[in-house]
Amino acid sequence: MDKILAAAQAIATARRNRNALAALADEIAPNDEAEGYLIQRAVHDLLLPNTGSLVGYKIGCTSPVMQRYLDIPHPCGGGVFERGVHDSGVSLRCGDYVRVGVECEIAVRLARDLAPSEEPFTAEWVAEAIDAYHPAIEIVDDRYVKWETMGAPTLVADDFFAAGCVLGKPVARLRAPDLLKVAGRALINGSEAGHGTGADVLGHPHNALAWLANHLAAEGKGLHSGQIVLTGSLVKTMWLNAGDHVTMELDGLGKVEAAFA
């Protein structure tokens, strides 16, 4: 069996069954992140009946706090799927995840396509393609026996912890505050669990979006009008317990809430 497909099937099976993934066998484990992204594409194809269509992307490891936490010094991308996108106020089941966590993010929704032929992309270029921003909760899932030993290529192959998102109301780009100065606070059951600013996300969230557009262009892929991009967490991941209520407040962008029953 093709190595890429065999690795993708192992990951997809673990995700469908909500089983913690142990390290992939040496003969199918990705040798580098480029191979990890090839496996990720195959995982997406296998999971489409469960997840619905690809509606955007998440970017991980865009802030110093997350790069230190994961010991990975550069951004990594993963998919966002139709059935994983929720509106603020949603109640979700902890049992639908292996070990659910949340992150505080600024999400963008695109007004137009960013075609691979347009690269190299800059922060200024991609900013003009944004329709609106959303305050967002990224939902992550620690679906590993021990993520610290998995290695970045395998984490990339499995969408880099991605498990969906909760979006607050959109704020049109032209009415949005300066993202550098947007302060975000993460509240768990009403108590602050972390805080950060837009400047923590690769210096500016638009830098993260440009990274993603260039990364996809290198694979001959583009971003599309209407897609959502989660630009990266302003805070360290917070792992939840059943019954937790999560609120993310982003100055000038509003707030977003979810309960995890």
Domain edges within the chain: 3-260
The label of the residue with tokens 């347009």 reads: 118
Q: What is the CATH number of domain 3-260?
A: 3.90.850.10
Tell me what the mean pLDDT of segment 180-202 comes to: 96
User: pLDDT tens digits, residue range 21-57?
Assistant: 988 999 999 999 999 999 999 999 999 999 999 999 9
User: pLDDT tens digits, residue range 78-136?
Assistant: 999 999 999 999 999 999 999 999 999 999 999 999 999 999 999 999 999 999 999 99
Task: Give the strand pairing for 54-60 and 76-81.
Answer: antiparallel
CB 167 within 8 A of CB 186: no
The confidence score (pLDDT) of residue 147 equals 87
Q: Where are the beta strands (DSSP E) in 5-161?
A: 54-60, 76-81, 85-87, 90-92, 100-110, 130-141
Task: Give the strand pairing for 100-110 and 228-233.
Answer: antiparallel
User: pLDDT tens digits, residue range 132-148?
Assistant: 999 999 999 999 999 88
Q: Is the pLDDT of residue 164 over 90?
A: yes
Q: What is the DSSP letter of 23?
A: P
The confidence score (pLDDT) of residue 120 equals 97
The confidence score (pLDDT) of residue 1 equals 60
Higher pLDDT, 64 or 204: 204
Tell me what the mean pLDDT of segment 6-18 comes to: 96
